[in-house]
Structure 1
Amino acid sequence: MDIDPRPVYARAAEQVAALIKTVGPEQLAGPTPCTDFDVRTLLSHLVGGTRRIAVVGAGGDGLAVRPFVDGVADDGWSAAYDGARTEVRRAWAEDARLDATVRVPWGETSGRNALSGYVMEAVTHTWDLSEALGRPLELDPELAEFALAVARLVLPAPDRGDDGPFASAVAAPEGADAYGELGAWLGRRGFGA
């Protein structure tokens, strides 16, 4: 992709932040479409992944950052995410970071590609969280379309086996919107009708 993903990432982060503000303590143990995560674990991953891409943007090693956080109080998720997304904005402020070679879990790539990949991750997990919470907010379809294009580019084969972070693609529910299509492409089942 040859675009500047920073504005898209900023929109995605704003959407995540708005959704996190709707989470009640009674929802933290609930299931999500990301079957290994309950809501609390998903929030931990959203914050941890955001911190990871901030470190990458600042020139650090993405593999050195655990993609989960510990010790966040039940009512502290919104503040934790806001702090992490502020780090991302600072770390990616210089245009040169987009063309720099960076190291992320899937290998070395350009900053542009890495940040686009984290847009895909943030948007996907936003959908996971939205589904888990009963869809409390309307989600931006353009973000899902961007994330789906990235997902199809970086994960072109629908059959992915069991050793990757995303399951094999499944059929999207009839009438699925771009988020439902994204979830299905990344192997989410039982949600998104």
Structure 2
Amino acid sequence: MTTELTQDPRPIFARALDQAEKQVAAVSPAELGNRTPCADYDVRELLGHVVSVLHKLVRVGNGDDARDVPDVIDGIADDGWASAFAQARAEVERVWADDEKLDRMVELPWATLPGRTALDAYTHEFTVHSWDLAHATRRLAGLDPDLGSRALDAFAKFAPPEARGEEGPFGPVVPVPDDADVYTRLAAYAGRRP
């Protein structure tokens, strides 16, 4: 029987990148200053962060140190974010096309993991950041509920509320109604205020 840890994470990762890329491409220059639910980031900074994450994934995929890449890339023209994301994504897909990299240990800024586990974790990060961008630009329709559900399940395992401190990317869980949609529950679980 195939488990989540032995499956190839790249198809689901690609779906998360498809969703994020659509959100990035939809952002207009007038929306770059909008606040996001992601603490301390406006839309421009969040775009710089997601492009940065792609660059970090290229670095670790090549066996290099991802800490050399800033958490937020700047200097991208207002109308250049879609192109910057697409170019960085193409490089990530090129680097991670090698099946052997899935089982090689990679050193991330926050952990050392097998490549497949790292891609799985970043799948969920891109899913949450897609919601962040969609919320900030009022484009919530069309987010993939399966990706949201997968991310919610994953966050419950690797970011349980009792393991969170004052520092880090996840605030306390925000209460939402039991019948809230999966992205509202995901955002609340990640500490956003949907």
State the TM-score, normalized to the length of structure 2: 0.92
Task: Summarize the alignment of residues 146-165 of structure 1 with structure 2, pairs less than 5 Å apart.
Answer: 146-158=150-162, 160-165=164-169
Q: CA deviation at 1:178?
A: 1.5
Q: Give the CA RMSD over aligned residues.
A: 1.5
Check 1:54–1:172 CA distance in 2 against 1; reply closer, same or farther (3 A cut): farther
Partner Cα separation in structure 2 for residue 93 and residue 143 of structure 1: 21
Q: CA deviation at 1:35?
A: 2.6
Matched position secondary structure for 1:163: coil
Partner Cα separation in structure 1 for residue 32 and residue 58 of structure 2: 25
Aligned residues: 190
Matched position secondary structure for 1:109: strand
CA contact (8 A) 2:131 2:140 kept: no
Q: CA deviation at 1:134?
A: 0.6
Match of 1:59 in 2: 63
Task: Summarize the alignment of residues 167-178 of structure 1 with structure 2, pairs less than 5 Å apart.
Answer: 167-173=171-177, 175-178=179-182
Matched position secondary structure for 1:116: helix
Task: Summarize the alignment of residues 93-104 of structure 1 with structure 2, pairs less than 5 Å apart.
Answer: 93-104=97-108
CA contact (8 A) 1:158 1:169 kept: no
Choose from 12, 15, 36 the match for 2:16.
12
Percent sequence identity is 43
Q: CA deviation at 1:70?
A: 1.4
User: What residue ranges of structure 2 are gaps of 5+ in the alignment?
Assistant: none
Q: Name the amino acid aligned to 2:128.
A: T
Q: Name the amino acid aligned to 2:121.
A: G
Choose from 103, 112, 116 the match for 1:112.
116
User: What residue ranges of structure 1 are gaps of 5+ in the alignment?
Assistant: none
Choose from 178, 181, 186 the match for 1:182.
186
Match of 2:144 in 1: 140
4+ residue runs of structure 1 moved beyond 6 angstroms? Answer: none
Question: Please, which moves more after superposition, 75-84 or 172-181?
Answer: 172-181
State the TM-score, normalized to the length of structure 1: 0.92
Check 1:173–1:91 CA distance in 2 against 1; reply closer, same or farther (3 A cut): farther
Choose from 121, 128, 131 the match for 1:127.
131
